[in-house]
């Protein structure tokens, strides 16, 4: 697809964190472009308007959001139904709310999440989106969520599988990776490309 696809990083990540995934998508013929935002001091209040402006300027037709990036992208689409976006692929995004984030808040460590804490903890409400939304979930339970005992074996170590199964999804698939490893897996890139071109994931 020749139309721009914006790729959003997660919390605590710089924009360059997504470059390996961006390069894989470009090699597959996807015009992927990284979208960077301040996940801690800016949070969704700043990120969503900035993303909307970027979509309008580039006429992007798809978004890829890793972790918090998927929540930010979904909020932008919910608040601005007239955007040119037709598809969103979330990668390890706790769309139903993050128990790991809530555990950090209960331990009085919520400041680590900055202004994105509330969105991570609550997730996104269910709504009937006009775009196709897919979710790629990790299944290797190694991460901060296990350390905090916020997540069990049915998780990527940070985000539980149940937290990724948002009711408005068009498709859902699993990749054998931890939360941190998801954006760097070849299979993740292949599934994104398949969803953007075919409207669903391979093998589902």
Residue 55 CB contacts under 8 Å (≥ 6 apart), including other chains: 6, 63, 76, 83, 84, 85
Q: 204 in a domain, yes or no?
A: no
Question: For the chain, what is the domain count?
Answer: 1
Instruction: Name the token pair of 53.
Output: 């402006």
- Which of 3, 57, 6 has the alpha carbon at shortest distance from 29? 3
pTM above 0.75, yes or no: yes
8 Å CB contact between 92 and 156: yes
- Residue 113: predicted pLDDT: 94
Range of the domain at 165: 5-198
Burial of 170 (C-beta count, 10 Å sphere; 0-12/13-18/19+): middle
8 Å CB contact between 116 and 39: yes
Q: 125 in a domain, yes or no?
A: yes
CATH number at residue 87: 3.40.50.1820
8 Å CB contact between 157 and 100: no
Instruction: Name the token pair of 189.
Output: 């890139």
Q: 203 in a domain, yes or no?
A: no
Angle (CA) 17 72 39, round 5°? 50
Q: 60 in a domain, yes or no?
A: yes
- Residue 74: predicted pLDDT: 97
Size of the chain, expressed as the number of residues it contains:
204
Ordered per-residue pLDDT tens for the chain, 204 residues? 578 999 999 999 998 999 999 999 999 999 999 999 999 999 999 999 999 999 999 999 999 999 999 999 999 999 999 999 999 999 999 999 999 899 989 889 889 999 999 999 999 999 888 899 999 999 998 766 555 665 778 899 899 999 999 999 999 999 999 999 999 999 999 999 999 999 999 986
Q: 128 in a domain, yes or no?
A: yes
């Amino acid at each position: 697809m020749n139309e721009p696809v914006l790729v959003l990083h997660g919390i605590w990540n710089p924009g360059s964190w997504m470059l390996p995934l961006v390069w894989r998508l470009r090699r597959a013929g996807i015009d992927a472009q990284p979208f960077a935002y301040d996940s801690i001091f800016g949070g969704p209040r700043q990120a969503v308007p900035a993303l909307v402006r970027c979509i309008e300027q580039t006429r992007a037709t798809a978004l890829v959001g890793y972790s918090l990036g998927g929540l930010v992208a979904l909020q932008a689409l919910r608040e601005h139904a007239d955007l040119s976006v037709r598809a969103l692929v979330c990668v390890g995004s706790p769309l139903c709310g993050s128990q790991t984030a809530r555990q950090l808040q209960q331990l009085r460590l919520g400041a680590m999440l900055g202004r994105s804490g509330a969105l991570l903890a609550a997730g996104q409400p269910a709504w009937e989106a006009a775009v196709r939304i897919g979710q790629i979930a990790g299944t290797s339970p190694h991460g901060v969520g296990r350390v905090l005992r916020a997540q069990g074996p049915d998780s990527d170590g940070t985000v539980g599988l149940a937290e990724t199964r948002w009711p408005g999804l068009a498709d859902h698939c699993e990749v054998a990776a931890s939360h941190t490893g998801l954006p760097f897996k070849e299979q993740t890139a292949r599934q994104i490309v398949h969803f953007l071109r075919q409207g669903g994931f391979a093998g589902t």
